[in-house]
Structure 1
Amino acid sequence: MSRTGERLKDEGSRLQVVAAGATAGLISRFIVAPLDVVKIRLQLQTHSLSDPVSQLNLPPGTPVYKGTLPTIKHILANEGLTGLWKGNIPAEMMYVCYSAVQFTAYRSTTMLLHRMFGKGTIPHPAESFISGASAGFCATAATYPLDLLRTRFAAQGNDKVYTSLFRAVRDIKRDEGYRGFFRGISAGVGQIVPFMGMFFALYETLRLPLGQFNLPFSSGDATAGIISSVIAKTAVFPLDLVRKRMQVQGPTRSRYIHKNIPQYTGIIKTLRDILKNEGRRGLYRGLTVSLIKAAPASAVTMWTYERTLNLLKQWEAKREHKTIQ
């Protein structure tokens, strides 16, 4: 395997890639957890902020969130500090598994393309898009039940719908069947495939040029991650919002913090209903905090992944060197 100055996507063993990806996901998730809760709360809010009349008929206890900071203050005042980390346990499990599957699938797809067509045959951005889209599909499908659990825990207020992760799994299986764990997966896959494809294509295109600028703290990877994530996230955000709305459907729909969540069925119908009742702005509720979250999340993930993978490879090289001696 090449050991030139240019870092290649297929460097590192499968185990090293899994360990680096899992570590990156774990650290990234914990840091951005509060912003994730805020994003979910805003995405599930269907009442208009500019129309006081629409707020008069809200069910008792339904909050009106107006932006990122006011939402954080509202959660702190009414639910305490732990309210900002609701759903963190399934989210940590999801991020660790997701990152591990994502980076493994990305590496495996890249190597498969090299074997099938030859290395350098496919244009670099196209290769990164295919590998990224495949990685996003595999990771989303493998971890979707954890994503749904994360959303439902983050969406519940002081009136808890689920008191523990075990009871949540038990209740969903009992009341909704196994299909209940995959509500909204079509929107999830429809969103993540183009997102990851665009993200990795942009990231691999920007990483090496930015690395030549000798940015402080080796932040070329982080900067490339931020730019790539912001562009890709904005492009597919309406589908992400649809996924969240569909994840809280079912018998517990009226028991979350927003007790007036409508009943949705299908991606197209959900998009039409949101456009009809909330306008185009309704499709982008929570976009600002999503972008604020996406920047540090992607930066921390990619920076941690690259550093961890390099450390693991250095450790392996030292171990092999000692064995030879």
Structure 2
Amino acid sequence: MYVCYGGVQFTTYRTTTQLLSQLDPHRLPQPVESFISGALGGGIATASTYPLDLLRTRFAAQGSGEQRVYGSLFASVKDIARNEGPTGFFRGCSAAVGQIVPYMGLFFATYEALRPTMATAPELSPIPLPPGSGDAAAGVVASILAKTGVFPLDLVRKRLQVQGPTRALYVHRNIPEYRGVFNTIGLIFRTQGIRGLYRGLTVSLVKAAPASAVTMWTYERALKLLQEHEIAAGRNE
């Protein structure tokens, strides 16, 4: 899922960024360009890989107990297709896209705003950074800010993914029944308060921050190598 997601996301992000840069003399402000490119890349990547995300969540929810809902990846695909139909693979997709569009938009807008200082000119950064770590540091800060801002929708996405005919068979039998994005948000807010919408945020940040650091550091290094190769190839011609 992550291989496919990353490929679609960065291809869309880079392509959209290049297209928006050609809008002169009516070019959009840089933060707006980054937001649009990031939001579009995240939305398309999420929608195209969503069935894999749903399967991952269901396998994680069923645990490793004796009473397992799905025995294998093939069995899970077959079972969902038979009992829930094609739409079963996209249960909660609207919440996922609704969460990822502002998340990736905010992430890339923040990242591109921080990168000139933290990566290109680290001596201007208020925090001393080791050489070559600016991209990773910008990715960490951008991830924390963006993830915190849209976390309730990420929580709703995961709650909806474990719904359906097999909900009662999961190891954790106390999973309530949710119907739709707004119904889920309202039910969580009424029963658990505002804190319920941020349940698991700390763990999510611990996971997302280093992942974003590695992703952006790798992306920038790979992009630089490809650009250098393209320049060298052009000189040889």
Matches for 1:134-153 after TM superposition, within 5 Å: 134-153=40-59
Partner of 1:259, secondary structure, is: coil
2:142 is aligned to 228
**In the alignment, which residue of structure 2 is the partner of 1:168?**
76
Residue 90 (structure 2) pairs with residue 182 (structure 1): yes
Change (3 A) 1:221 1:119: farther
Partner of residue 21, structure 2? 114
Query: Which amino acid is 1:216 matched to?
Result: P
Q: Distance in 1 between matches of 2:19 and 2:232?
A: 29
Residues 188-237 of structure 1: CA deviation (Å, up to 9, x unaligned):
11101110110000000000111211632401000100000100000100
Within 1, Cα distance between the matches of 2:144 and 2:168? 32
C-alpha RMSD of matched pairs (Å): 1.7
Deviation at 1:120, TM superposition (A): 7.8
The letter for the 1-side match of 2:157 is R
Rounded Cα–Cα distance in structure 1 between residues aligned with 2:19 and 2:224: 23
Give the corresponding residue for 2:188. Answer: 274
1:218 partner SS: coil
Deviation string 1:158-181 (CA, Å, 9 cap, x unpaired) is: 232111111111111011000000
User: Are positions 1:311 and 2:207 aligned together?
Assistant: no
For residue 87 of structure 2, what is the amino acid of its counterpart?
R
Task: Please list the CA deviations of residues 65-109 of structure 1 after superposition, one character each: whole Å capped at 9, or x if unmatched.
Answer: xxxxxxxxxxxxxxxxxxxxxxxxxxxxx1111111111111121
Q: Using the alignment, how far apart are the partners of 2:36 and 2:202 within structure 1? A: 28
In the alignment, is residue 216 of structure 1 matched against residue 130 of structure 2? yes
Contiguous gaps of at least 5 residues in structure 1? 1-93
1:77 aligned partner? none
Query: More relative contact order in 1 or in 2 (CA 8 Å, sep 6+)?
Result: 1
> Separation in 1 of the partners of 2:112 and 2:135?
9
Candidates 201, 214, 224, aligned match of 1:287: 201
After TM superposition, what 4+ stretches of structure 1 lie above 4 angstroms from structure 2? 315-321
Q: Once the 2 structures are TM-superposed, how far is the Cα of residue 319 of structure 1 from its aligned partner?
A: 5.3
Aligned-partner Cα distance in 2 for 1:302–1:315: 20
Q: TM-score normalised to the size of structure 1?
A: 0.67
Normalised by the size of structure 2, how large is the TM-score?
Answer: 0.91
Tell me the alpha carbon deviations over residues 101-144 of structure 1, each in whole angstroms, 9 at most, x when there is no partner: 111111121222233x2278211111111111111111111111
The gaps in structure 2 that reach 5 residues or longer are 124-128
Give the Cα separation in 2 of the matches to 1:175 and 1:210: 51
Equivalent residue pairs, number: 229
Paired residue type of 2:154? D
- Contact 2:46–2:100 (CA under 8 A) maintained in structure 1: yes
**Identical-residue share of aligned pairs (%):** 63
